[in-house]
A and B are shown apart, each in its own frame.
Chain A
């Protein structure tokens, strides 16, 4: 699987958009980008995934650059409950396991 690079931590003010970047410069054409988050002492929670088009669901938006070498997860109106570690993962189609890196610790502040 392609390696991903994320900043170790970020701060965001409550009510503002949180933009979490991920670099995956060695991504292949058949690799999807997934985002999960993990709130302290809980299991990882699926957020969103995409291949090359931008995606949006009730939790977040995923913006993938045209060259697919980086992506941004956007939480449109961050709340204190969004404080968590966010993992960006790329996975080859047909492969089963996820490789989690160290993620980005998002601190949402009042």
Chain B
């Protein structure tokens, strides 16, 4: 399977703990995106990388959230001091910078439950 992969698929944690998610994009894709989706809503943009550079962050990405993409390959999203409001599906997508369309392909997501 050469699609976007995410690990873990499910994570249950207690409030106040730190969690880290990993995303592996499609191999030739140089752009990587993180979205968050709460129940009944469409995905909401969090941040995106072009190669290793983080080029945009949403206001949703509080200072407890940090994302990295070392060497422009896989990416990690860390949430520190988790809160119950962080419970959501965290989605990763990747694309190849292909003006003008830049179609994004999504992974299966990581479902986070904060108790």
- Interface of A with B (CB < 8 Å)? 32, 34, 36, 41-46, 49, 85, 87, 93-94, 96-103
Docked-complex contact B100 and A93, CB < 8 angstroms = yes
Hey, what's the 0/1 contact readout for B24-44 against A, CB within 8 Å counting as 1?
Answer: 000000010101000011111
- Interface pair A98/B108, CB less than 8 Å apart: no
The reply to whether A42 and B108 form a contact with Cβ atoms under 8 Å apart is yes
- Chain A's closest residue to B9 (CB) is A41
A49 to B104 CA separation, bound complex (whole angstroms)? 11
Q: How far is the CB of B103 from chain A (nearest CB, A)?
A: 6
Contact in complex: B109, A102 (CB < 8 Å): no
24 residue pairs of the A-B complex, CB under 8 angstroms, read: A34-B103, A36-B106, A41-B109, A41-B111, A42-B108, A42-B109, A43-B91, A43-B93, A43-B107, A44-B43, A44-B91, A45-B106, A46-B103, A46-B106, A49-B101, A85-B42, A94-B99, A96-B55, A98-B43, A98-B45, A98-B104, A99-B45, A100-B43, A100-B44
Question: Is the beta-carbon distance between B106 and A96 smaller than 8 angstroms?
Answer: no
B21 an interface residue at 8 Å Cβ cutoff? no
A103 touches B42 (CB 8 A): yes
Whether a CB of chain A sits under 8 angstroms from the CB of B79 is: no
CB distance from B26 to the nearest CB of A (A): 12
List chain B residues, Cβ under 8 A from A96: 31, 33, 48, 55-56, 102
B112 within 8 A of A: no
- Closest Cβ neighbor of B58 among chain A residues: A97
The reply to whether the CB of B4 lies closer than 8 angstroms to some CB of chain A is: yes
